[in-house]
Amino acid sequence: MSLLAAGALVLAGGVGAALRSDPAPTGSFLTDDAGRALVLRGFNTASSAKSTPDGMPKFTEEQLAREHADMGTNFVRFLISWRSVEPEPGVFDQAYLDRVEERVGWYSERGYQVMLDMHQDLWSGAITPDGKTGNGAPAWATYMDGLPVGSHEMWEQYYLDPGVIRAFDNFWNTTGEHPELADHYAQAWRAVAQRFSGNPAVVAYDLMNEPYGGTLQGPVFEAGPLTALYQKTADAIRTVDQDSWVCVAPQAMGVNWGTPSGLGPIDDARDGDQRIAYCPHIYPLPMDLGGGYEGTSRDLVDATVDAWRGHTLRTAAALGDVPIILGEFGLDTTLPGALDFVERIYATATEMGAGVSYWSRDPGSWGPYEEDGAARNLVPALDRPYPRAVAGAPIGWRGEPERLELTYRPDASISAPTEIYLPARTFPNGAQVSGGEVASWDAGARILTLRAPQTPDETTVTLTPAR
Ligand SMILES: CN(C)c1ccc(C(=O)NC[C@H]2N[C@H](CO)[C@@H](O)[C@@H]2O)cc1
């Protein structure tokens, strides 16, 4: 069992958890330019970007400032789209990338890390005449070959329509008719990476949102055309960007619900340690079907989370002990037991050493704010102390409203300090620290930094509210 697992198990669940037979957490993290291990907590921003003419989310800098003040997030999975990057074959829209870069600047000014998510659902807006069902791919890359697409109450049903399956089969070249589309996709990502290479706020690229294999499903898809596309795209990115992490996601069908992924390893062409991350989603079916997190539904959801955890750790290990970002999870937080479910997912991600981007930042019953801007129940639930950046190797940590415990092995070669976020609602006067020394306390940004320990030995610091 890895040190991370031992530490996490002790912190997260006591002796009982130590008997867990699941694979050990990988113990690897994305790092910032200073080399600190990053604990990433934030939102998907935002679903509204799927349909706007300019490709931008309906989201203002003031709304980001509010999110930062209310919850101390440090991460965003920012939705971009192939249709906006490459509106015509081989034509890359620099004005669109300007708009993306402006918003990346909002996050950068507040110390955020940004993961750019090439987002698709149901392939493209071109699958239906009104352009409102799917999103992501441009119309010129959407070949349905005249096959029909129906009209459905549940959006997921469109994935079973012949026209939609054919659009995916042509992209993956399962038909043998369109080998050029994957090359275009990789070059579109190269154009994005060329723009953001060296941008200190852009830490990662999430290559494709919730991939779907059309006729091909499961390992034959994931280990076949999906892994091949990721390799092609990673290679294209590395011709212009040697440092950003490349995040690869499994197919959504099944894996979102707790079944194993057959994704194959990606060879990272960069000089030095590989920077590949694994970015699955989790949406337990009983929650999606409206069951809530109570009674029998809760038992089924817990079984899903346990299965998902084990499969995720095994895939991350198979990809080369890569770091994990939970790219999406979310729910209608008016469901019974919703906040207990949110707590369960964050505790599981913490134990795994995974980053988290909640789905999503859009207003309404799934998000942190109402349409009128009023804060919802999610805000206090997500406003928790956490170690944003660790100057060394995190072994394990546990955050409760009025207590943070972090065990890590300091790395004296890292000049930047360990940073900890402390919520105003539970740490109004800052923190009492045991096991470490306070270097600074920024009451405005709610960030406390620790002085580097004198020895490289594993150390545990505990923070409780200052009186
Ligand atoms: C049948 N297939 C392929 C399928 C079914 C269901 C989802 C899904 O719920 N995804 C969860 C959330 N993720 C997207 C955005 O990435 C949201 O629209 C979904 O609610 C995905 C794929």
**360-411: per-residue pLDDT in tens?**
999 999 999 999 999 999 999 999 999 999 999 999 999 999 999 999 999 9
Calculate how far, in angstroms, residue 434's C-alpha sits from the geometric centre of ligand 1: 44
Q: According to the model, what pLDDT value does residue 147 have?
A: 98
Ligand 1 center to 428 CA (angstroms): 39
**How much is the pLDDT for 5?**
46
* pLDDT tens track for 141-179: 999 999 999 999 999 999 999 999 999 999 999 999 999
C-alpha 334 – ligand 1 centre gap (Å): 20
pLDDT at residue 8 in the model: 42
SS (H, E, C) the chain: CCHHHHHHHHHHHHHHHHCCCCCCCCCCCCECCCCCEECCEEEEECHHHHCCCCCCCCCCHHHHHHHHHHHCCCEEEEEECHHHHCCECCECCHHHHHHHHHHHHHHHCCCCEEEEEECCECCEHHHCCCCCCCECECHHHCCCCCCCCCCCCCHHHHHHCHHHHHHHHHHCCCCCCCCHHHHHHHHHHHHHHHHHCCCCCEEEEECCCCCCCCCCCCHHHHHHHHHHHHHHHHHHHHCCCCCCEEEECCCCCCHHHCCCCCCCCCCCCCCCCCCEEECCECCCHHHHCCCCCCHHHHHHHHHHHHHHHHHHHHHHHHCCCCCEEECECCCCCCCCCHHHHHHHHHHHHHHHCCEEEECCCCCCCCCCECCCCCECCHHHHHCCCEEEEECEEEEEEEEECCEEEEEEEECCCCCCCEEEECCCCCCCCCEEEECCCEEEEECCCCEEEECCCCCCCCEEEEEEECC
Instruction: Calculate how far, in angstroms, residue 429's C-alpha sits from the geometric centre of ligand 1.
Output: 42
Ligand 1 pocket, 437 CB below 6 A?
A: no
Q: What is the pLDDT of residue 22?
A: 64
156 pocket-lining for ligand 1 (C-beta < 6 Å): yes
Q: Whose CA is nearest to atom 15 of ligand 1?
A: 121
Which parts of the chain sit beneath pLDDT 70? Answer: 1-22
Q: Whose CA is nearest to atom 11 of ligand 1?
A: 283
Q: Which ligand 1 atom sits nearest the alpha carbon of residue 251?
A: 3
Distance from the alpha carbon of residue 210 to the mean position of ligand 1, in angstroms: 7
Q: Is the CB of 210 under 6 A from ligand 1?
A: yes
pTM of the model: 0.95
The pLDDT score that the predictor gives to residue 24 is 78
Please give the number of the atom of ligand 1 that sits closest to the Cα of 160. Answer: 1
pLDDT of residue 105: 98
- Decide whether any atom of ligand 1 lies within 6 Å of the 206 Cβ: no
Q: Give 119 Cα–ligand 1 centroid separation in angstroms.
A: 11
**Residue whose CB lies within 8 A of the most ligand 1 atoms, among 256, 358, 365, for a mutation test:** 256
Q: What is the predicted pLDDT for the residue at 156?
A: 96
Closest ligand 1 atom to Cα of 283: 11
* The pLDDT value given to residue 23: 77
